[in-house]
Amino acid sequence: MAQPQGIHARRAALRLLDAILRRGETLDIAFSGATREVRKFEDKALARAIASEVLRWMVDIDALIDSATKKPLPHDAKARMVLRMMLAQWLRLGTPPHAVVATGLDLLAGGPRRLAHGVFSTLTRNAASLPDAPTLPEEAAMRWGERAPAIAAGLAEPPPLDLTLRDPAETEHWKVQLSADSLMPGHLRLPRGENVESLPGFAEGAWWVQDLAASLPARLLGQGEGRHVLDLCAAPGGKSLQLAAQGWHVTALDISKRRLDLLKTNFERTGLKAGTVRADALKWEPKHQFDAILLDAPCTATGTARRHPDVLHRIGARQVEEMAALQSALLQRALGWLKPGGTLVYATCSLEQAEGEGQVTAIALPLAQITQDELPARLAPTEEGWLRTDPGMLPKEGGLDGFFVARWTKA
């Protein structure tokens, strides 16, 4: 019997969700293995889209499923997982119900197909719908407190595609070439779904993919004028590329060979230069001090939930505590490698207070306050002089990731 068209993408999405929700893998790490047997780029993209929408809206989708069953399905039941996928395709991706049924029920061969069909039919017949913004998992909502509603609103849609230009002076040129918007010099914003490698400017290294918020920490170090900067935990290299383009002599350090190889590939494509060091930053000792250090520290990455909604379900208090301890240790080491008069920028793509504001109090250096004119329009530093961005900010422009950034000067 011929298999339904698109079944390979759905099976891959099911494997992807199982890896994330049952084994605790990240979306990016699980994606390669889950889609190994999927050949078409479009099918791989569909598998990721289905899984991402399930993760983004899972609390609300589960509520719909429970409203149509007499007895709640176990949280990890395969029938519930398949129904999540079916509802995500119908309510979020616009897949017609008959196509959803044709591919969804096939995933339950030998299982409760009649149950799943009945639940889905009931919900479609009753014109079920999702709220305007996803309901956050309870633990995440509690951690984010009063910011939670705005953050949730910012997670309703996947993000647009942001690019950072090698030469900010060419912003207007590339805006025209790519039919893009721009929120500040050196930044471009395109609709999501673009095939990056086929876009003008990719082959010649005129730009690289980087969320607007992720581009701000390196910008806050200004022009290098040949001075030496250490980019700690540098891979995959977006900030190192920025620093090199800003005229810094860059040392890019990371512990991962695979990620450093990706960094080197990006430098080759753009024609920029940096020295690379593969080492554990908690053990490594430099031969000299640096004029500036950028520490974009390992973190829970909850600020990237727009494109990585797995963090909504994988991250809890234990992971936050572990990351905060690592960040504190890295900050203390970085302080000793900074020249007098040098600048340290600390950043995390996290929404957690412990990974941002909680780290500032332990630093004895005077804060070099971030100013309004260093930021895109409609973003502002806090009264304390650091920067906190949330996915709910700049909604009319397409939003941005959640970041914390602080800057100090060594006396």
Query: Are residue 267 and residue 318 in the same domain, yes or no?
Result: yes
CA distance 90 to 294: 44
Query: Are residue 271 and residue 303 in the same domain, yes or no?
Result: yes
- Measure Cα distances from 254 to 82, 260, 283, 349 in Å: 39, 7, 12, 17
pLDDT at residue number 361: 85
Using 50, 70 and 90 to split pLDDT, how confident is the model at 1?
very low
> Cα Rg for the chain, rounded, in angstroms?
23
Is 349 catalytic? The answer is: yes
Q: Read off the pLDDT of residues 196-243 as tens digits, 9 standing for 90 and up.
A: 999 999 999 999 999 999 999 999 999 999 999 999 999 889 999 999
- CB neighbour list of residue 399: distance below 8 Å, 6 or more residues apart: 154, 159, 160, 306, 391, 392, 393
Residue 64, domain member (yes or no)? yes
pLDDT at residue number 3: 65
| Helix ranges, 145-270 (H) | 148-154, 171-178, 212-219, 238-245, 257-270
Q: Residue 387 sits in a domain of what CATH number?
A: 3.40.50.150
* Per-residue b or e along 199-226, where b marks 16 or more CB atoms closer than 10 Å to that residue's CB: bebbeebbbbbbbbbbbbbbbbbeebee
CA distance 290 to 228: 5
Q: Residue 199 sits in a domain of what CATH number?
A: 3.30.70
Residue 149, domain member (yes or no)? no
Query: Are residue 185 and residue 230 in the same domain, yes or no?
Result: no
8 A C-beta contact, residue 272 and residue 245: yes
| Number of domains composing the chain | 3
Q: What is the mean pLDDT of residues 304-321?
A: 96
pLDDT at residue number 110: 72
> Which among 361, 370, 368 is positioned nearest to 342, based on CA atoms?
368
Question: Of the listed 349, 375, 394, 406, which one is catalytic?
Answer: 349
Query: Are residue 17 and residue 106 in the same domain, yes or no?
Result: yes
> At residue 84, what is the residue type?
R
Query: Are residue 305 and residue 380 in the same domain, yes or no?
Result: yes
Query: Are residue 276 and residue 369 in the same domain, yes or no?
Result: yes
Output DSSP code: residue 366: P
Q: Read off the pLDDT of residues 363-399 as tens digits, 9 standing for 90 and up.
A: 988 999 999 999 998 999 999 999 999 999 999 999 9
Which of 107, 125, 143 is the endpoint of a domain?
A: 125
Residue 376, domain member (yes or no)? yes
Residue 296, domain member (yes or no)? yes
Q: Residue 103 sits in a domain of what CATH number?
A: 1.10.940.10
Query: Are residue 247 and residue 372 in the same domain, yes or no?
Result: yes
Residue 134, domain member (yes or no)? no
Residue 61, domain member (yes or no)? yes
Range of the domain at 36: 7-125
Q: Read off the pLDDT of residues 144-185 as tens digits, 9 standing for 90 and up.
A: 999 999 999 999 999 999 999 999 999 999 999 999 999 999
Query: Are residue 298 and residue 255 in the same domain, yes or no?
Result: yes
Query: Are residue 202 and residue 229 in the same domain, yes or no?
Result: no
Query: Are residue 281 and residue 371 in the same domain, yes or no?
Result: yes
Q: Read off the pLDDT of residues 335-344 as tens digits, 9 standing for 90 and up.
A: 999 999 999 9
> Which among 132, 131, 149, 130 is positioned nearest to 141, based on CA atoms?
149
Residue 344, domain member (yes or no)? yes
Query: Are residue 306 and residue 285 in the same domain, yes or no?
Result: yes
Query: Are residue 245 and residue 388 in the same domain, yes or no?
Result: yes
Which of 82, 105, 125 is the endpoint of a domain?
A: 125
